[in-house]
Amino acid sequence: MTRLSQNFIEFGHFASYLALMVALLQGLAPVGARLLRIPRLAEVSLNAAVAVFVLTTIGALSLIHAFVAGNFSVLYVAQNSNQALPLFYKVAALWGGHEGSLYLWVWILTLYTVIVAWHGRSRYPAHLPVILSVQGWLMVGFFGLILFLSSPFERLLPAAPDGQDLNPLLQDPGMVVHPPMLYLGYVGFSVPFAFAMTALLTNWKSELWVGFVRRWALIAWGFLTAGIMIGGWWAYYELGWGGYWGWDPVENASFMPWLIGTALVHSIAVQDRRHMLHAWNIFLVISTFSLSLLGTFLVRSGVLSSVHAFAVDPGRGAYILSFMVIVLSVSFGIFLAKGRYQEARESITSFVSRESLFVWNNVIFTAACICVMLGTLYPLALDALYGDKITVGAPYFNVVMVPLFLMILLLMGVGPLVPWRKANPERLKRRLLIPGIVGATAVAFMWLLGWHAHWTAPAAVGFAAFTAAALLTDYWRAVTQRRAQLNEPIARALWKTVAGNRRHYGGMVVHFGIVVIALGLVGSGLFRSEIAVTLAPGDVVEVGGERLRFEGVRELRGPNYTAVQGRFTMIDYGRSVAPERRRYLRQEAPMTESAIDATWLRDVYVVLAEAAGAEKWAVQVYVNPLVRFIWSGGAIILSGLLLALSQRRPRQREARPILAGTAPVKS
């Protein structure tokens, strides 16, 4: 390695310090423009946003270059990579540890900020400097942590001859994609947060900014949803336990902002359509971003012990906690002082109306978030205050969350059938008739088929069938009305109905994806079969109606690991599956690689455990019905989100260009 190549990391380190100073300038420029009465000074925040992104990108590229080039004079590289690591994982190792994952966080924040700057120059120039100022102060907080307490640029002299290797759990495509997706969701909610703070500080009329916030909230929610789904998929096939969600505290850390973010995207629709819930939506925006910071604190502070503990550092948790407390105090303080200016122009006129159901939707999602928060944080508080250690596991979460989820399913079915403002009772009864019959039939069928199962099985399937029928009948009613008015062919009417209101039907597709996931949760959660046995070559195991024959094992060698691969034959189908048990050379860490024979109706999930004597191996086999519905439902959700985002609002432009200065702040 050349000396220039070795010292490129110093250039990136210097660029990151410059990024901190420019971010500070970005945060101060609008304040200085007002205090010094120099309006043109506000334009600095726009140029600073671009400069911070460029400088942060240089720092990130220098770290990636250090990993690819094997520059083990960088401590972070030596701890999270080695010469045998495949190139793909060397690049992904940037976020494989504590320091790099925080750098990814702030890198994504600068990316969002520069997009907001580009987007807002022509659409909301008078308020753009304040928005960028809020983003700038967030960047200052994270750069302070990265550069002074958690630096990925720290040198190791003399350089190590080789690195320790990336955590084996991370050497998987799922974990390469999962953290960036989560961070794109976490950090994405900083944009609605900046808009909300700007609206409070400048008395920005809600009808002028709500459309922008809606799109940013949907984008962040979509990334967070994708991150959670990919994380569940990774946990399913990589960890070897046959499940996908264990109510792990760090899983909950991503689930809490998702719950409040879901309430937010629904509540913003009411504000956009009916001009109400203004202050409540700002509260939801602040809460969602605060929970995103809480998720960062829980994962990176070291206060939790979980499968995600590969990137923790207890010594720096106090900084993240302090930063989070400052953000909470300032934002909620501004909200309490200025929130009264965000007054609703209308109010709910009938209990039986769509906006009323949206309010109940908000209540349920907020209650769900509080329940998850209590189950996650209560053991931590008890340990900190009294030294008592308890574990709140799946039984608690299932008891409190399943009824709430069933209510959400019911609301998803009723909501599209109820009009805005006030429903006609007779018309509503007619619209609910077919979905009600379908739901009742599904309950009866499930009761006969799975009478021995938990009561939640027929209830969930019944509500899912009711909701699916409600969505389809609502769509068919709109198609029928269009054909009656325009006399169109059926195919054209089917497409044009969706194309004419993509926001509405995109949301319906998202709801249908939730229905599909609900069926997957019922099948895989309540009807799963499993067995743990010891097998010798030629032995046959039967579980859940599936028969497998163990053919034996063979040894394999990967780029940085050795493995023992088991070979199993699905007797009824003639197909083979080959689970592995790997040992990574550098860390001597044993890892299981499950093998899955998948169809739409079930997965046969095979795990090769430890040797149990001469030619005998411990084996675990799971049969998970309908588990593929979960991943398919996630894909449907994201496709519906893209459909909803494809319909853009008419552009709203503020009259004054950015050079005219910042927006006036009214007292």
**What's the confidence (pLDDT) of residue 347?**
66
**What's the confidence (pLDDT) of residue 614?**
79
**What's the confidence (pLDDT) of residue 540?**
94
**What's the confidence (pLDDT) of residue 142?**
92
Question: Which residues have a Cβ under 8 Å from the Cβ of 213 and sit 6 or more positions away?
Answer: 191, 192, 195, 196, 268, 281, 285
For the chain, domain boundaries: 1-171, 172-392, 421-526, 529-625
Q: What is the mean pLDDT of each run of 10 residues along the chain (667 residues)?
A: 74 96 94 82 89 96 93 92 89 89 95 94 89 95 91 90 85 87 95 94 84 92 96 89 87 93 91 81 93 82 51 64 89 87 65 84 94 88 76 86 93 85 82 92 85 81 94 92 89 90 92 96 91 94 93 89 93 92 80 91 93 88 95 96 83 50 39
User: Using one digit for the tens of pLDDT, what is the confidence trace for 469-515?
Assistant: 999 999 999 999 999 888 888 999 999 999 888 999 999 999 999 99
Which DSSP string do the residues of 439-497 spell out, in sequence order?
HHHHHHHHHHHSTTS-THHHHHHHHHHHHHHHHHHHHHHHHHHHHHHH---HHHHHHHH
**What's the confidence (pLDDT) of residue 7?**
80
Question: Contact 626/519 with Cβ under 8 angstroms?
Answer: yes
**What's the confidence (pLDDT) of residue 344?**
60
**What's the confidence (pLDDT) of residue 659?**
38
**What's the confidence (pLDDT) of residue 11?**
93
Reference 483, options 494, 498, 469, 499; nearest CA is 494
**What's the confidence (pLDDT) of residue 420?**
77
Question: Contact 168/582 with Cβ under 8 angstroms?
Answer: yes
**What's the confidence (pLDDT) of residue 302?**
58
Distances (CA, A) of 386 to 321, 359, 374, 375, 380: 20, 39, 17, 17, 10
**What's the confidence (pLDDT) of residue 308?**
47
CA distance 348 to 184: 35
